[in-house]
A and B are shown apart, each in its own frame.
Chain A
Amino acid sequence: MYLNDNITAYKTILIKEILRFSRIWLQTIIPPAITMGLYFIIFGQLIGSQLSNIDGYTYMDYIVPGLIIMSIITNSYSNVVSSFYGSKFHHHIEELLVSPIANITIIAGYISGGIARGLTVGIIVTLVSLFFTQISIASYITAFVVAILTATLFSLAGLINAIFANSFDDISIVPTFILTPLTYLGGVFYSIEMLPEFWRNISLFNPVLYMVNGFRMGMLGVSDASLATAIMIIIGFIVLLTSICLWLLNSGIGIKK
C-alpha cells in the first residue's frame, strides 16, 4: 500500500511538472529551438562550411550531437531549478512537506519532470537539425541512455541549486558561472584532440565532456572519451547528487525552519 501511494504521488508530481512546462511552452520549448536553430545556421553553415572535417564528419554534423545534449543539459537543469524554487518562493512546497510522500519520491518526481522537458527539447532540436543536415544515428540505445542519464544528472543538480537558493538571482548564478562555461568547454564545438596537450588534460576533468562525447558516440560513433568511462562518470555523479538531495530533504535544509 505504501508503495502504491508513492507511485500515485510520483505520477502526480510528474504530470504536474509536464503540465507546468507545457502550459508555458512559449518560455520553455520554443526559445531553445530558436537558439539552437541559430547555432546551426551561424556555426554549422556559415562558419562550419569554411572548416575542415573533424573525425571524418563535416563541422555541422560534428556539432549536432553537442548542441542536442547542450539543450538537454540546460533544459533539464532549468526545469527543476525554476519549478522547485518557484514552489519554495510561493510556498506551495508546503503541499508536499505536509503530505506523507517519501522524500525519494519527491526527488524522483521532480527529476522525471526535468528529464521530460530535457528530452522534449532535445527531440525538437533534433528535428530542427534535420533542416540543416542528414542525421544517421550510430547507436540509438547509446544515444538514448546517455541522454537520459545526462538529463537525470542535471535535473539533480538543478534540485540542489533550488534547495539552497534564497532568491531568483541564486538560481541563475550556477547556470551562468558554472554550467554554461563547462558546457561550452566540454567539446560541444570542437574535439579536444584539437587542443594543446595542457588544455586537453585539463578538459578531461570537465564532466560535461564525457556527456557530450558519450552522446556523440551514440549519434556519430566517434568520441574523445571511452563510452564506458563516460557512463561510469555520469552514474557516479548521479549517485552522489541523489544522496545529497536526499540528505538535504531529510534534514530540511533550505525548505524547513
Chain B
Amino acid sequence: MPIIMNALEIKNLKKTYKNGFEALKGIDLNVKQGDFFALLGPNGAGKSTIIGIVCSLINKTSGQVSIQGYNLQKSPRGAKQNLGIVPQEFNFNVFEPVEEILVNQAGYYGVSRPEAFKRAEVHLKQLDLWDKRREMARDLSGGMKRRLMIARALMHNPQILILDEPTAGVDIEIRRSMWTFLQEINKQGTTIILTTHYLEEAEQLCKNIAIINQGSIIKNCAMAELLSELDSECMVLNLQEPLDTAPILADYSSYLIDNTTLEVEIKKGEGINTFFELLSQKKIKVLSMRNKSNRLEQLFLRMVKK
C-alpha cells in the first residue's frame, strides 16, 4: 500500500488523437484526499479526455496518472479498484434490470454476489430507486438513470468518485437531492471530482477548482480564492415605478433592461449602502433584488475568452 499524498495525481499528461488533434498539452493536476473538486472548461477543452484517460477508456500519449498512490500504468488493479465513475452518457445495459446492473458491476470488482445484493439494496434505497429494482433500465426516467449510474459507481466503495456532468438534464428537485447526497458521501471521506456545465453547482459544492481550456489548465486553486478575484457583481433590481431612462448613480454604472428592471454593476469595496442612498435620493423604490448571474460563471467566461 503506497503512502498516499493526493487522491489523484496527473503529471505532464498529453493526448494527441490519430487525426492530429492535441487534446491535452501536458496537464499537471493534483486532487487532495477528501476534496470536492471541480474540473471545468468549455466544450472540447479536454475535460472528457482527462476523465477518459483516468478511467482507462482512452489511451494517453504520454504522462503519468496515479490514483490513491497507484500508478495507473504500473499498478492498474490498485488504481482502478479505488475509482468510481459516473459518465456523461448512459452506459449501462438498458435491457438489464436495475438491480442486476449493480450486482454485475460489483462482481467485476470482485465483490461476491450475496454481498453485492446487500450493497445494491443500500444504494438503491439511498437513491430512491429500490421500488424500481426489478424494472428494465430502459424504462427509467432520465433522472432515475442518472441516479442509477451514481449507485453503480458506488458499488465497490471507491475512494474517488468522478462525476462527469451528473445532473445534466435532470430537474431542479432531483439535482438538489443529488447535491445533498454527494455532499454526504464527500463528508464520509470520498474524494469527488465533478465536471459540470451548471457553474452554480460547482460553486455550491466544490472546495477546489481547475479550469481547463484548449488542452491546458489555466487556473487551479481554491474556489474561495478564485471567487475573490471577482472585482464586481451585477445586480438586477425590480422597481416599483417604471423609469424612462436609466438613472445616473455616481460611480455605479446602470442599465435599464425594461422600464421596471434595472441592472447595476457594483464594484468590490464600493459597498451597497451608498448605492441605496442614491436610489432613495432619486425616489426610486426597489421591490426586490437578485444577483444577475452566478459569480463563478462571470469568472469562467472571462478566463476562457482570454
Contacts from A to B (Cβ < 8 Å): 1-2, 4-6, 8-9, 11-13, 15-16, 19-20, 23, 87, 90-92, 94-101, 252, 256-257
Contacts and interface: CB of A to CB of B under 8 A. Distances in A.
Contacts of B92: 92, 95
A12 B80 contact: no
Contacts of B113: 8, 11-12, 15
Contacts of B108: 9, 12-13, 95-96, 99-101
B107 A8 contact: yes
A98 B93 contact: no
Contacts of B26: none
B157 to A, nearest CB: 13
B242 interface: no
B57 A87 contact: no
A161 B14 CA distance: 31
A10 B85 CA distance: 21
A252 B94 contact: no
Given A5-B109, A95-B91, A100 B81 contact: yes
A247 to B, nearest CB: 14
A16 B102 CA distance: 12
Contact of A97 (B57, B89, B95): B57
B15 to A, nearest CB: 9
A94 B17 CA distance: 19
Nearest to A23: B95
Contacts of A5: 109-110
B100 interface: yes
A90 B100 contact: no
Contact of B57 (A1, A13, A94): A94
Given A13-B107, A15-B113, A99-B108, 11 more contacts: A2-B77, A8-B113, A12-B104, A20-B95, A23-B95, A94-B57, A98-B80, A99-B109, A100-B81, A100-B109, A257-B58
Nearest to B55: A98
Interface residues of B, number: 35
Contact of B76 (A8, A19, A100, A252): A100
A101 to B, nearest CB: 5
A98 B76 CA distance: 10
Closest 9 CB pairs of A and B: A5-B110, A12-B107, A99-B108, A91-B91, A100-B80, A100-B77, A257-B58, A92-B93, A98-B55
Contacts of B107: 8-9, 11-13, 15
Chain B, interface SS category = loop
Given A8-B111, A99-B108, A19 B100 contact: yes
B85 A98 contact: yes
Given A98-B56, A98-B83, A90 B93 contact: yes
Contacts of A257: 17, 52, 57-59
21 contacts: A1-B110, A5-B109, A5-B110, A9-B109, A12-B104, A12-B107, A15-B107, A90-B91, A91-B91, A92-B93, A94-B87, A96-B108, A97-B57, A99-B108, A100-B81, A100-B110, A252-B59, A256-B56, A256-B57, A257-B58, A257-B59
Contact of A16 (B58, B104, B110): B104
A19 B81 CA distance: 26
Contacts of B55: 94, 97-98
A15 B103 CA distance: 11
B58 A4 contact: no
B91 A9 contact: no
B110 A8 contact: yes
A105 B89 CA distance: 26
A8 B55 CA distance: 21
Nearest to A11: B107
Contact of A94 (B91, B96, B100, B103): B91
Nearest to B78: A100
B8 to A, nearest CB: 15
A99 B87 contact: no
A137 B110 CA distance: 41
A102 B85 CA distance: 18
B238 interface: no
Nearest to A8: B110
Central interface residue in A1, A94, A252, A256, by most chain B CB within 10 Å = A94
Contacts of A256: 56-59
A101 B55 CA distance: 13
B93 to A, nearest CB: 5
B112 interface: yes
B183 interface: no
Contacts of B152: 95
Contacts of A6: 110
Contacts of B78: 100
A100 B90 CA distance: 21
A160 B246 CA distance: 70
B105 interface: yes
Contacts of A16: 96, 100, 104
B92 to A, nearest CB: 5
B44 to A, nearest CB: 14
Contact of B94 (A9, A15, A90, A99): A90
